[in-house]
Chains A and B, each alone.
Chain A
Amino acid sequence: DTAVSQTPKYLVTQMGNDKSIKCEQNLGHDTMYWYKQDSKKFLKIMFSYNNKELIINETVPNRFSPKSPDKAHLNLHINSLELGDSAVYFCASSQRTGSEKLFFGSGTQLSVL
């Protein structure tokens, strides 16, 4: 059983399209995150949710909208995709806010053409 699972693993799409990435964790954790990793492997936080509430919202274009229907799920919707959005998006979870050990999903490689 995968602890943090995200779908799809790969996403290839045209500029201007809207796409979603889904994430689910079965660890019973309270906190979930979205990270973006660029081509140089720089991992940068985008959002963090604790028990369905947004607690960290970095300087991210408002084309990116996270949604947490319950504490086991955190989805990421991206409107009007741009070339610069191409990256690997990682979902992660931790037992609670302030818990250092993050469990990462296997990533979604997004390519915008």
Chain B
Amino acid sequence: EDKVVQSPLSLVVHEGDTVTLNCSYEVTNFRSLLWYKQEKKAPTFLFMLTSSGIEKKSGRLSSILDKKELFSILNITATQTGDSAVYLCAVRWLNDKIIFGKGTRLHILP
């Protein structure tokens, strides 16, 4: 069964728009939630979230976790064509396994 669910599965917006990507999870023994960006090849690490309500920020990207409602969002403001990628959400369990969602494919139109 799906333990990490991302939505939407794909998204097309114009440059300059703001997007919000969603990730919900259903796990026992949650340790952390992770966001990765995958362009052509290897996923690259963006954020790790362990505490509710604390926003992590890196440039135009930001993310927040809600451990009560079991979800996280990734925001990208003033999108650029270079933001086009698959964004992967993952959750680490207490047994150290990292489970990935199916990703959101984001395409930014010039």
Residues of A within 8 A of B (CB): 4, 35, 40-45, 48, 55-56, 90, 97-98, 100-107
By the criterion CB–CB under 8 Å, are A104 and B98 in contact? no
Q: A100-B92, A101-B48, A107-B41 are in contact. Are A43 and B32 (CB under 8 A)?
A: no
A104–B34 Cα gap in the complex (Å)? 14
Contact of A43 among B44, B45, B88, B95 (CB under 8 A): B88
| Interface residues on chain B, size class | 20 to 34
A-B contact pairs, 16 of them (CB 8 A): A40-B102, A41-B86, A42-B100, A43-B88, A45-B97, A48-B97, A56-B97, A90-B42, A98-B96, A100-B32, A100-B34, A100-B98, A102-B45, A102-B98, A104-B43, A105-B42
Count of inter-chain pairs, beta carbons less than 8 A: 54
Residues of B within 8 A of A (CB): 31-32, 34, 36, 38, 41-45, 48, 86, 88, 90, 92, 95-100, 102-103, 105
